[in-house]
Structure 1
């Protein structure tokens, strides 16, 4: 899979490098089961058409740009991790559009022309609530018209769990409350956080959301080992702390992965023993 960062300077180049594709559209933060259904549907269409499977997303989140930086956004995973998940799903190209005021001001017709038709898109797949163009004026129902009938579309309905739509917003609520064991039902995997090991704790990389403070059962993965242990989350320092005898003291500066499975206790790190 090739990951391509699109901006105004390289847009024309990548338009020329594109080939026939079926494309999945959305932000796809966390790649939950609803997102997975969109991408799998696009994959089936791509096989039917003998076309490449592409995913087009954007970064940063529109809320941070349109609010002029006044609104912060809790990302669920870095773009690099998003790309790894998409690769396992058979995606051929992952386009990440730089979201800025210029992109946000595109008319729906210009968006379709510049980012879909000129990229060789023959079929677009998106969720029922996907929107595009200035003030979200376009949606999956209008995309075929905005393409002049040159792009077919498939709209994917909402995917539910226990009668509620699975969404990135719901997942953030679950993480914020520390109910990490619920995530497997919404995402199909537990929540993984990667970061740099600093003596007695993990300093999370950017674009990971930390759950509520407390102690959790976790799978800890280093370059050479995978172990189960309890860890504690501390928001003041944005870190995950480990027991003093964790055996990880020799990993200073290395990348460590923590997959949270179950919350075992509320409370601050200093109460950990």
Structure 2
């Protein structure tokens, strides 16, 4: 898979020689089952048409830019992790659009022309609630009209779990409340974060959310294999404490993946070390 940041110069270069593609649109934070349904539908159409499958995502989160930094967004994963999953899902091209004030002012028609038609998109696929253009005025029911009839459009209906719409917002709420055992039903797999080992502490990489303070059962994936253990999350930002792990169990400064299995205790004062 080729990942391309669509900064202005690169965008102009690609527009000169566009490659026909079907594009899946969304922020795709967490790449949950709803997102995967969008990508799966786009992949099926791309294979039928014999063209490339592209995903277009954005960074930073639109809420951060539109609030002028006043509203912080907790990310479920960094862009690099999204790219890994996209590749596993059969994506050929990953377009990363810098979401900045200039981009936020594009009219819906201008977005469709500049970022879809001019990049060779022949069919666009997105969720039923996908919005685009200035103030989010564009929506999937008008996208074909915004393209002058040149773009085919598929709107994917909501995907639900236990009666709730699967969304990044729902997953963030489950993480905030420590309900990590419920996340796999939305993600299709357990929630994972990555960080670097320092003694018996894991220092988190940027753009990962941690559950609320408490004690959790986790599986740590490292070069030595898998380690089922317990972890403590405190109010100390960006750190996971491993009270039952010996220093020899993990390699110093190694980057590991932490898979959250279940919450054992939450917000117990004696655990907040």
When the two structures are superposed, what TM-score results if normalisation uses the length of structure 2? 0.95
Residue aligning to 2:99: 99
Correspondence 1:61 to 2:87:
no
Does the Cα contact within 8 Å between 2:56 and 2:94 map onto a contact in 1?
yes
Query: What per-residue deviation string (whole Å, max 9, x for no partner) do you get for residues 30-73 of structure 1?
Result: 11111111010000100111111000010000111111111110
Q: How does 1:1-273 map to 2 (within 5 A)?
A: 1-248=1-248, 251-267=251-267, 271=271
Cα deviation for residue 113 of structure 1 reads 0.9
Residue 224 of structure 1, CA deviation: 2.8
Structure 2 unaligned residues grouped into runs of 5+: none
Offset, 1:272: 7.8
Distance in 1, matches of 2:248 and 2:109, equals: 54
Q: What's the CA shift string for 1:147-201, capped at 9, x where partnerless?
A: 1111100000011111111111110110000010101111101110101111220
CA distance in 2, matches of 1:102, 1:247: 49
Separation (CA, whole Å) in 1 of partners of 2:134 and 2:245: 55
Shift of 1:249: 6.4
Provide Cα deviations, 1:178-234, integer angstroms capped at 9, x if missing partner: 010101111101110101111220111111001011111111011232111111112
Q: Equivalents in 1 of 2:18, 2:31: separation in Å? A: 24
Report the count of equivalent residues: 273
In 2 relative to 1, CA 112–193 (structure 1 residues): closer, same or farther, beyond 3 Å? Answer: same
CA–CA separation in structure 2 for the residues paired with 1:174 and 1:155: 27
| C-alpha contact (below 8 Å) 2:106/2:134 kept by paired residues | yes
Shift of 1:83: 0.5
Question: Closer, same or farther in 2 for the Cα pair 1:20/1:120, shift >3 Å?
Answer: same
How far off is 1:267 after superposition?
3.6
User: In 2, are the aligned partners of 1:191 and 1:260 still within 8 Å (CA)?
Assistant: yes
CA distance in 2, matches of 1:82, 1:192: 12
Give unpaired runs (5+ residues) of structure 1.
none
1:18 Cα shift?
Answer: 3.3
What do you get for the CA RMSD once the two structures are aligned?
1.7
1:92-150 CA-partner distances (Å, limit 9, x unpaired): 01111000010000111111111001111000001111011111111111111111111
Moved more, 84-93 or 216-225: 216-225
After TM superposition, the structure 1 stretch with the greater mean CA deviation from structure 2, 94-103 or 260-269, is 260-269
Worse-matched range after superposition: 135-144 or 95-104 = 135-144
Separation in 2 of the partners of 1:129 and 1:271? 41
SS at match of 1:211: coil
Q: Secondary structure at the match of 1:53?
A: strand
CA distance in 2, matches of 1:269, 1:43: 49
Pair 134,99 (structure 1): closer, same or farther in 2 beyond 3 Å = same
Distance 1:240 1:145 in 2: 50
